[in-house]
Structure 1
Amino acid sequence: MATAPRTTTQQAAQPSAAWRDIGSVAAQLPCDGTALAGAAAMAGALHAKVTVTQLLPLPVDTSNAWALSMDPVIAERHERIRQDAHRQANDIRHRLAAYAVQGDITTLEATFDEPSGLAALAARRTDVSVMARPSGSVTDAAYTHAIFAGLLLGSGRPVLVMPEGSKLTLPLQQAVVAWTDSAEATRAMHDAMPLLLHAESVHLVTIDAPASPLENPAHAGDGAAALLQAHSVPVTVHRIHGQGRAPSQWLLDHCRSVKAGLLVAGGYGHARWREWAVGGTTRELFFETSLPTFFSH
């Protein structure tokens, strides 16, 4: 199923995007600039502002956690961390000015709170969260995955993951929507609409779709495609036979073949403990994607 490209008149008739506040997570990692650039790209295209949440994990002396006064060594370390964060905040302000977008910064210190929980708390006050995933450090990747899981499951907001070195270019030329007939995939497609509305082409990919009361496998995805068409989004449905291969690999291969600038996927359709124990599409996409990937739960 495909639709013809939209005319300039159709594009101009699209309603303005609902997003007005784009959240960006600064996790005190070298890849934070990638997230800020992605957030600024969306803010510039959608006439929104950027709200940066700077997460500041502060170590505690666990052997003396309930002492009346803090160990001077720990206190000095906290002060160094705060000074580094102050310098990063100034750098973020300069970058926002260079991107010509409005924004502000909130610093949240995580002493006895999990950084992921604080990130989710801040994200509830924005329309969408943007975070980066580092490529060179397993430890840093695991840390950002914990933040990602907290955001996705705890904020009620979608999360855009920017792999280190990736770039979000708007309006999108090619976008891929990972479709299953599930609440998570439906929410992801709906939440990503401000980006999909202006895409040149959207590929809706379904893998080994089961029969349902509304669609048999030969027509899987037609209902979702019809909804996108109703919003004047040009869409093509691709039905793939998985042949035992991981869905994440099919999706990423398809993204590469069409040179997609964005992948949209539902997140944690299975219980999260299962994702951790045996792996799952959400976790695999987080660690293996090389392009901006938009998740909703």
Structure 2
Amino acid sequence: MSFKTIAAILQGEQEFQRVLDCAIPLASRLEAHLVGIHAEVLPVPYTAAAGFPDTDFIQVSTELNKEATLKLRGTFHERVEDAGLSFEWRTLESFSGDGTLAGLPNVRAADLIVAAQRDVESDDGTDVESLVYDAGRPVLMVPHSGPILSSFRRVLLAWNGSREAARATFDALPLLIEADQTDILIIDPPESSDDTPDAAGSRIAASLGRHGVSVGVSVRNSQGQSVETLIQDRLAASGADLLVLGAYSHSWLRELLFGGVTRSILRSAPVTVFLSR
């Protein structure tokens, strides 16, 4: 299995370039078809003082949005043509201007979605949380700062035995096979008659090994530290350039109200993150 259709969510200019810096070389290496998805903002109806819609405002807003979209489309075509890729461009319309919400029917036909991490200091950018939760496809999230990679040498796989972790692991298999090393991180493994803490992760490690993945297992006790802190610490210590994570093992509502590992990682991960649920 490989990724043969890659959907790239392309919004603002800075985010646009970072996503393409990952998606184009990835699609080129995998000989994949690249779909660029951009949402054009529909102008919110504005009422003038006389009580009638301000048609001049709507017209100017529409023209500015189309001008920005044409510029992005031109850059996309130029870059993918230079790379010799099979590609297409899809312009969508949305009051939110977010390609996530408008593009869900399109991305569900892709093997992989590439999107940019939202900068916590800005309200702009792709709603990656909704994308991961609703798309039904794996998402490769490019960090909002730092180097952009399309191939990964050292992978950190967060494993807790959940359905979501299993889904993410095997969705990411093409990248794990390419990597030099995959470190399976297990935090606070439960003690049971079937699996002692020392043997935790042995089954998934063996399964990945049969695919030719070079695997190691690390078991950590939290001792009061949060899971996300331990993941971040392990990322730094191992030098991993990709984190594979099963998203929303708890309900999205619970994470929205109380926080959780997925939401924390989406906002603060310093490296590329591969997510599935």
Question: How does the TM-score come out when normalised to structure 1?
Answer: 0.85
Determine helix, strand or coil for the equivalent of 2:240.
coil
The corresponding residue for 2:106 is: 122
Give the alignment partner of residue 77 of structure 1, picking from 54, 61, 70.
61
Q: 22, 32, 40: which one pairs with 1:48?
A: 32
1:155 is aligned with what amino acid?
Answer: A
User: Once the two structures are aligned, what percentage of the paired residues are identical?
Assistant: 27
Q: Is the 8 A contact 1:211 1:217 kept in 2?
A: yes
Structure 1: 5+ residue runs without aligned partners?
1-16
Residue 169 of structure 1: CA displacement? 4.0
Residue among 8, 18, 29 paired with 1:34: 18
The residue that corresponds to 2:195 in the other structure is 215
Deviating more after overlay: 220-229 vs 90-99: 90-99
Deviation at 1:91, TM superposition (A): 0.7
How far apart, in 1, do the equivalents of 2:80 and 2:157 lie? 30
Partner of 1:138, secondary structure, is coil
Q: Is the 1:28–1:56 contact (alpha carbons within 8 Å) kept by the matching residues of 2?
A: no
SS at match of 2:89: strand
> Where does residue 167 of structure 2 map in the other structure?
187
Instruction: Give the superposition deviation at 1:251.
Output: 1.3
Q: 2: distance between equivalents of 1:107 and 1:175?
A: 34
Match of 2:140 in 1: 160
Q: Is the 8 A contact 1:169 1:261 kept in 2?
A: no
Residue matched to 1:139:
123
The one-letter amino acid paired with 1:127 is: D
Q: How far off its partner does 1:57 sit?
A: 2.4
3-state SS in 2 of match to 1:265: strand
Task: Tell me, in whole angstroms, the C-alpha distance in 1 between the residues paired with 2:223 and 2:19.
Answer: 35
User: How many Å separate the matches in 2 of 1:62 and 1:159?
Assistant: 36
2:249 corresponds, among 264, 269, 276, to 269
Contact 2:9–2:100 at 8 Å: present in 1 too? no
| Partner residue in 2 for 1:278 | 258
Superimposed CA distance per residue, residues 224-275 of structure 1 (whole angstroms, 9 cap, x where no aligned partner): 1111011111100000111111211211221222221211001111111111
| C-alpha spacing 1:214/1:58, structure 2 compared with 1 (3 Å) | farther
Separation in structure 1 between the aligned mates of residue 44 and residue 214 of structure 2, nearest angstrom: 53
Contact 2:116/2:128, CA 8 A, preserved across alignment: no
Distance 2:96 2:153 in 1: 44
CA contact (8 A) 2:155 2:242 kept: yes
Match of 1:10 in 2: none
Question: 3-state DSSP class of the match of 2:37?
Answer: strand
Assess if the C-alpha contact under 8 Å between 1:123 and 1:151 holds in 2.
no
Whole-Å separation in 1 of the counterparts to 2:84 and 2:144: 22
SS of equivalent residue, structure 1 residue 197: helix
Contact kept in structure 2, 1:176 and 1:204, CA below 8 Å: yes
Deviation at 1:78, TM superposition (A): 1.4
Tell me which moved more, 185-194 or 128-137.
128-137
Given that residues 120 and 150 in structure 1 are in contact (C-alpha distance below 8 angstroms), is that contact kept between their aligned partners in structure 2?
Answer: no
Contact 1:202–1:234 (Cα < 8 Å) also in 2: yes
Other-structure match for 1:12: none
Q: Conserved in 1, the CA contact under 8 Å of 2:37 and 2:99?
A: no
Between the aligned partners of 2:100 and 2:110, the Cα distance in structure 1 is: 16
The CA RMSD over aligned residues, in Å, is 2.2
Distance 1:213 1:38 in 2: 44
CA displacement at 1:285 relative to structure 2: 0.5
Query: Counterpart of 1:4?
Result: none
1:250 & 1:256 partners in 2: Cα distance?
Answer: 10
Partner of 2:79: 95
Matched residue pairs, number? 274
Q: Gaps spanning 5+ residues in structure 2: where?
A: none
| Structure 1 CA distance for aligned equivalents of residues 174 and 191 of structure 2 | 30
